Amino acid sequence: MKQLMKSARYCRPSFLNRFARDRQGIAMAEFALFLPVLALLAAGSFEVARYALMTQKLDRIAATLSDLIARSGSEAISETEITNIIDSAIYMAQPFDISGENLIILTSVQGRSGESPEILSQRVAGALDGVSSKIGDTVGGDATLPSVFPDAGSGETLKDGETLIVAEVYYNFRPFLLGDLGFFGDMKIRSQAFFRPRFTDTITFPSG
């Protein structure tokens, strides 16, 4: 009976009013409720920063690779030279490790009078599923250039004999934090760059 009466005191209106007005611990409760949201925002900001930095890295790699080839004073780049140029991409990507998750496609394209440009040579390094060159993949076949290159008619986007060095770089971006939680899957980032040869009319390189 004493225990029952003691319990009944907590049901009195005065006690219930005091309990309703008590704000102790409310900040901790609110923090606990918002903690998952804050953690998700922090992880998302981290991934967005990684994605933006990786995109900038790929832009720089594509521009550097095509520029290095375009600066060659030889019309036929040797196997050693083209291998060294491609290997430099791994170092330019640091602190990211892109080895095994990238595809590099270097293409030499030459214009033909009244026709689509021709692929003179192409070098592919790395492999990614479902990814191929947007320019074309057949040496001696037609090359497809972006719409930014004007069409002079009959598919002619380069003048007869005009050469273009194209670098395409792909990377399989894996979210570091949010990927394991299932919010985002792998994303393929692509960058490309175009340079004209500086010192020769044409430049070719081994296909490897």
115 pLDDT above the threshold of 80: yes
Amino acid 73: pLDDT: 86
* Calpha distance 167→82 (Å, rounded): 12
Q: How confident is the model at residue 181 (pLDDT cuts 50, 70, 90)?
A: low
Q: Torsion angle, CA of 14/20/21/25, rounded to 10 degrees?
A: 130
The answer to whether 169 and 102 have CB atoms below 8 angstroms apart is yes
Q: What is the pLDDT of residue 45?
A: 79
How many Å apart are CA 146 and CA 14, to the nearest integer?
78
The mean pLDDT value for 125-150 works out to 88
Q: Which helix (H) or strand (E) holds 55?
A: helix 26-70
pTM for the full predicted model: 0.78
Instruction: Check: CB of residue 110 under 8 Å from CB of residue 158.
Output: yes
pLDDT of residue 148 exceeding 50: yes
Please tell me the predicted confidence (pLDDT) of residue 114.
82
For 14-49, the pLDDT digits (tens) are 655 665 565 565 667 766 777 777 777 777 778 888
> Alpha-carbon distance 48 to 135, whole Å?
29
**Least confident span in 24-38, 112-126, 158-172:** 24-38
How far apart CA 143 and CA 105 sit, in angstroms, is 13
More confident residue, 50 or 169: 169
Average pLDDT for residues 143-149, to the nearest whole number? 85
Q: What is the pLDDT of residues 48-98, one digit of tens each?
A: 888 889 999 999 999 999 999 999 988 999 999 999 999 998 889 888 888
Q: Which of 27-41, 133-147, 180-194 has the lowest mean pLDDT?
A: 27-41
pLDDT of residue 146: 86
Q: List the alpha helices (DSSP H) in 71-166.
A: 79-92
Tokens coding 74: 């030889």
Which residues, in sequence order, are CB contacts of 173 under 8 Å at separation 6+? 50, 51, 54, 186, 187, 188, 189
The span from the CA of 48 to the CA of 32, in Å, is: 25
User: Which residues does 181 contact at the CB level (< 8 Å), separation at least 6?
Assistant: 43
Sheet containing strand 115-126, edge to edge, reads 115-126, 102-112, 163-173, 187-195
